[in-house]
Structure 1
Amino acid sequence: MHTWHWHSWNGLPYLSCSLLSRWPHGFFTQQFWPRSPTELVEVLQPTARVYRVTQVHGNRVVNTREMSPEVSSPDGQEILPSKPDADGLLTHEGDRAVWVCTADCSPVLIADPQTGQVAAIHAGWRGTAARIIPEAIAQMQAQGSSLPQLQVAIGPAIAGEVYQVQDDVAAQVCGTIVETDTPEQILSEVQQLPHPPVLADAEPGRVRLDVRRVIQLQLAQMGIARDAIAIAPYCTYQNPDRFFSYRREAQKKVQWSGIVSQ
């Protein structure tokens, strides 16, 4: 059983997962707002180059070799290179920090101890429906990763029991894990699964969707072992003292998650 640990940096809390203990990484809380990754990297590994993208709720994953790192000028101001539109970053070169931001969506950090590759993925319902996690893993495989080696930590996100969505949204997401055709059949089939990713809702035409559970099932279907997947036991919506939640507050504030390659 993987454990999640709270750490404190200058009195500010952030989270790590024992599964990724080999790599400097963190799932940061709202207390770090409005610090950016160029500042947050100091917590993980100050020498690492920082990379992030312009997130668009899609399934594009880019390699850091296609980008320029972010830096800070002597006066502490960020120097931001042009950032590609994407929702995932990966690297197989050492001492590079890849970052994503979330405020209910799932931050997913992936690491491969064999090749040294790491990835950071922003997986909302749209990205999950577009199979962004399998896309990232396919790119890692193309760079030499093997599925049995991969280790995946899914950070704090909105929990299924409080995430109300329309039936068709849930069907789009869950259609990635079953082969049934119609939305009605998709929802019926996934509700029969152990620990179903879809729960009933009192409002007609709506259900409760557990995106992190869908990601877990996608990974399992790819052949990722259950003990190589960890899901944080924290809900952004239900923990207002620690996390921003767009569903709860409708504010464009985020928390960052990052991992450093070795």
Structure 2
Amino acid sequence: MGEVHRRADLFEIASEQWQWQTWEDRPYLTCKLLASWNHGFFTQAFAPELPESLVKVFHPEIPAYRVKQVHGNTVLTSDEISWEGQHFSPADGIVSTAQQQAVFVATADCTPALIGDRLTGQVAAVHAGWRGTAKRIIPEAIQKFLDAGSELKNLLVALGPAISGEVYQVSTDVAVEMGISLGLQDLANDVDAMLLALENLIESPILPDPDDGKVRLDVRRVNQLQLEQLGLDIAQVAIAPHCTYQQPEHFFSYRRSNEKKVQWSGIVSNRF
């Protein structure tokens, strides 16, 4: 029960960490966990602006980096991004390589993750939908930090507004992929056993659904579990208490409107 109570206390603290800010009378979110960095989880009020314009919220003249997002698990450094044909390099995460670099990702119902190393000042922005989560994209980003000399104890992760588990219906096949991403490969061919194993996790990432062959999925919780398995303490991760599907006044949601509209999230590196 001690672990359950600790999680409940930390969830309340994490919820309090999220603050509304405004820029030119438009709202966006910040997280106290990332207070050492200029950052923001922008709302639909900033559409259709791109990072090249949004970066001015942070600084009048620093470079902004983005990629062509493809729902994979490739994470590039800012130095590795190039313009290829009509698009930036295909990837779903960016890690800074110098100070004063702003890295951005776009999301609608997928999870935007902003990561910072409180010792070095290095940062990352990651787009983690269910496909990227199944491929463990946030752990891939964490590995980039470790390869650059970071220590797990210094990493802080904010998981921004995304579709919540209570409304996100997916097939049980997707739930199986989530289980595999959490190390339950032995249950890959037994859907019922996989669902039972996931249901038995503390704060299960899946909820029942009335339709056959369907469940509700909390993608952010899966990412949180992946981070815990890597060794991050639960106090190093904050999850936004906001659902893109249920808050149409602030966020675009593809699942709600079937429109390809996005909001951006970004963070600026410091120190180094």
TM-score normalised by structure 2 residue count:
0.90
Structure 1 residues 235 and 212: CA distance shift in structure 2, 3 A: same
Amino acid at match of 2:128: A
1:87 matched residue in structure 2: 92
Looking at structure 1, the residues matched to 165 and 232 of structure 2 have their Cα atoms a distance apart, in angstroms, of 22
State the match for 1:77 in structure 2: none
- Structure 2 match to 1:72: none
Residue 201 in structure 1 maps to residue 215 in structure 2: no
**Is the Cα–Cα contact under 8 Å of residues 58 and 130 in structure 1 kept in the other structure?**
yes
- Confirm or deny that 1:250 pairs with 2:255: no
Q: In structure 2, what is the Cα distance between the partners aligned to 1:81 and 1:23? A: 31
Instruction: State how 1:104-143 maps to structure 2 within 5 Å.
Output: 104-143=109-148
Deviation at 1:34, TM superposition (A): 0.4
8 Å contact 1:47–1:95 — kept in the other structure? no
Q: Which residue of 1 aligns with 2:230?
A: 222
Once the two structures are superposed, residues 180-219 of structure 1 have per-residue CA deviations (whole angstroms, 9 ceiling, x without a partner) of 3233322110101111000010000000000000000000
Question: Partner residue of 1:20?
Answer: 34
What secondary structure, in the 3-state scheme, does the structure 2 residue paired with 1:175 have?
A: helix
The answer (yes or no) to whether the contact 2:208–2:216 under 8 Å persists in 1 is: yes
How many residue pairs match? The answer is 252
Opposite residue 79 of structure 2, the aligned amino acid is R
**Deviation digits for residues 116-153 of structure 1, max 9, x if unmatched?**
21000000000000010111111110001111110000
1:15-94 equivalences under 5 Å are: 15-67=29-81, 82-94=87-99
8 Å contact 1:45–1:260 — kept in the other structure?
no
Residue in structure 2 matched with residue 148 of structure 1 by the alignment = 153
SS of match in other structure, 1:162: coil
- The separation in 2 between residues aligned to 1:105 and 1:130, in whole angstroms, is 14
Who is 1:11 aligned against?
25
Deviation at 1:103, TM superposition (A): 0.5
Whether the 8 Å contact between 2:165 and 2:207 is mirrored in structure 1 is yes
The answer (yes or no) to whether the contact 2:105–2:125 under 8 Å persists in 1 is yes
Amino acid at match of 2:96: T
Query: What letter is aligned with 1:225?
Result: D
2:246 to 230, 238, 247: 238
How many Å separate the matches in 1 of 2:175 and 2:87?
Answer: 34
Q: Which is further off, 18-27 or 180-189?
A: 180-189
Q: Determine if contact 1:48/1:260 at 8 Å carries over to the other structure.
A: no
RMSD, aligned α-carbons: 1.4
Higher helix share: 2
Q: Mean Cα displacement is larger for which, 239-248 or 183-192?
A: 183-192
Deviates more, 1:58-67 or 1:233-242: 58-67
- Cα distance, 1:96 vs structure 2: 0.4
Unmatched segments (≥5 aa) in structure 2: 1-12
Identity %: 53
Structure 1 residue 65 displacement after superposition? 1.2
AA aligned to 2:134 is A
Measured after TM superposition, the shift of residue 68 of structure 1 is 5.2
Query: Is contact 1:178-1:190 (8 Å) kept?
Result: no
Deviates more, 1:236-245 or 1:107-116: 107-116
C-alpha separation in 2, matches of 1:131 and 1:185: 22
Deviation larger for 37-46 or 157-166: 37-46
CA distance in 2, matches of 1:68, 1:245: 29
After superposing the two structures, state which structure 1 stretch, 158-167 or 183-192, moved more.
Answer: 183-192
1:210 maps to which of 203, 218, 224: 218
- Partner of residue 97, structure 1: 102
